[in-house]
């Protein structure tokens, strides 16, 4: 158990670091959990992951918010909608085959990557639009759609949020990452409430992993703040490429 725990804490630290900057920590942490705990039920794996991820996301959100100002009139309604729809997504898991979702997500990721590469200044400048009723409605729609997606499927949630905050509200990558963390925190908490209530959390692993994930998130946030939006843009494209490769592999191999 000690060897498995040490391995999982290392994985959680790396996941927290990457997730704090561009999202996608689950791509590191969930395979690590499946590898270290082969006899655990999938729901227990996801529940254990969510506790660790939620703590790391909270740490990253707090670090960003101490340095970055966000338009709360936009972010809070989006986060509230994401929380509600994350429950709806979790409830719909058994109704929608993931084989239907994967190709659609792959196409969306490809569009995101091509658009970001094509527009060289995308996410480099922070010139946020004025927040009116229209912008609040768009923010809530984004929160609802991505919250539902996170509850239903999950991979790339942070990346999708960042892209949409930049595309619709002219954030730079740094502010988009901060806003994404706030919204993603609510979807994590919504899912975590379900998993804790259902008894699907291995606390002997989840709590040490949470501490490691939080430490990684602190390092990742400081790195992103120090290096700036251009650095986060490169990480964003790298993570998106990994997501595309993973989903393409999953589709090709059933």
Domain count within the chain: 1
pLDDT at residue 139 tops 90: yes
Contacts of 89 (CB under 8 A, 6+ apart): 147, 148, 149, 150, 151, 152, 153
How big, in percent rounded to 5, are the helix, strand and coil portions of the chain?
80, 0, 20
- Do 53 and 65 touch, CB atoms closer than 8 A? no
- The count of C-alpha atoms lying within 13 angstroms of the C-alpha of 122, restricted to the half-sphere facing its C-beta, is 20
Q: Which domain holds residue 89?
A: 1-253
pLDDT at 74 exceeding the cut of 90 = yes
Q: What is the pLDDT of residue 94?
A: 57
Does the pLDDT value for residue 124 go beyond 80? Answer: no
Ranked by mean pLDDT, the top range of 102-111, 121-130, 212-221, 239-248 is 212-221
Which of 10, 4, 13 lies closest to 34, judged by CA?
Answer: 4
- What local confidence, expressed as pLDDT, does residue 159 receive? 85
pLDDT given at position 254:
63
Residue pLDDT, tens place only, 152-181: 777 778 889 999 999 999 999 999 999 999
For 87-116, the pLDDT digits (tens) are 888 777 657 666 777 787 788 888 888 888
Least confident of 62-66, 89-93, 182-186: 89-93
């Amino acid at each position: 158990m000690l060897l498995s725990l040490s391995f999982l804490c290392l994985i959680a630290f790396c996941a927290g670091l990457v997730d704090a900057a561009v999202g996608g920590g689950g791509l590191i942490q969930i395979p690590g959990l499946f590898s270290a705990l082969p006899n655990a039920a999938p729901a227990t794996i996801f529940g254990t992951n969510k506790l660790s991820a939620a703590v790391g996301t909270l740490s990253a959100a707090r670090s960003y918010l101490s340095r970055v100002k966000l338009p709360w009139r936009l972010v809070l309604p989006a986060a509230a909608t994401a929380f509600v729809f994350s429950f709806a997504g979790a409830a719909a898991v058994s109704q929608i085959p993931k084989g239907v979702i994967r190709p659609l997500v792959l196409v969306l990721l490809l569009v995101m990557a091509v658009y970001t590469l094509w527009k060289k200044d995308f996410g480099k400048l922070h010139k946020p639009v004025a927040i009116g009723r229209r912008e609040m409605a768009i923010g809530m729609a984004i929160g609802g759609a991505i919250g539902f997606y996170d509850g239903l499927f999950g991979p790339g949630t942070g990346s999708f949020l960042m892209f949409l905050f930049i595309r619709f509200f002219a954030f730079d990558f740094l502010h988009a990452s901060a806003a994404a963390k706030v919204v993603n925190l609510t979807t994590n908490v919504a899912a975590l409430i379900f998993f804790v209530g259902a008894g699907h959390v291995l606390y002997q692993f989840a709590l040490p992993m949470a501490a490691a994930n939080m430490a990684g998130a602190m390092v990742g946030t400081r790195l992103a703040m120090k290096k700036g939006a251009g650095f986060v843009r490169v990480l964003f494209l790298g993570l998106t490429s990994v997501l595309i490769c993973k989903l393409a592999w999953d589709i090709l191999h059933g």
